[in-house]
């Protein structure tokens, strides 16, 4: 049973991914998903429904990025056309302390 902290959208996408054999390095479109899966994934990833472009957010500061990286977070841009970030919190190597939470809060609008 999945934890109750997952949204319905997340549960739906994860269940579909598992039904596809839970492939690792693959694009969703390469799995020939139904239109409802594409729409759900687009909404979850922050794509605007009217133009299929990424939602616009302000860029974070270089200092905020440097600080989060110094705490051990792996941070990548999601797209060249967006200020959205992918933040991997698993690589920081331990329990999250208050300073980790503060660094993530500073990046929250871009995550």
Under 8 Å between Cβ of 71 and 99: yes
- Residue whose token pair is 């596809």: 20
Please tell me the predicted confidence (pLDDT) of residue 68. 92
pLDDT tens series, the chain, 111 aa: 545 577 888 888 888 988 988 787 777 778 888 888 888 887 777 665 555 555 678 889 999 999 999 998 888 887 777 788 888 877 666 778 889 889 988 988 887
Please tell me the total number of residues recorded for the chain in this structure: 111
Residues 6+ apart with CB under 8 A from 16: 33, 37
The model's pTM is 0.52
Mind giving me the DSSP string for 21-71? T--SS--GGGG---HHHHHHHHHHTTB-TTT--BPP-PPPPHHHHHHHHHT
């Amino acid at each position: 049973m999945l934890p109750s902290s997952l949204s319905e959208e997340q549960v739906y996408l994860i269940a579909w991914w598992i039904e596809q054999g839970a492939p690792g390095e693959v694009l969703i479109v390469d799995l020939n998903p139904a239109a409802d899966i594409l729409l759900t994934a687009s909404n979850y990833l922050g794509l605007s429904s009217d133009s299929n472009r990424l939602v616009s957010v302000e860029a974070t500061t270089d200092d905020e990025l440097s600080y989060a990286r110094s705490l051990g977070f792996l941070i990548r841009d999601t797209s060249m056309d967006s200020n959205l970030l992918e933040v991997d919190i698993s690589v920081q190597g331990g329990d999250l302390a208050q300073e980790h939470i503060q660094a993530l809060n500073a990046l929250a609008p871009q995550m």
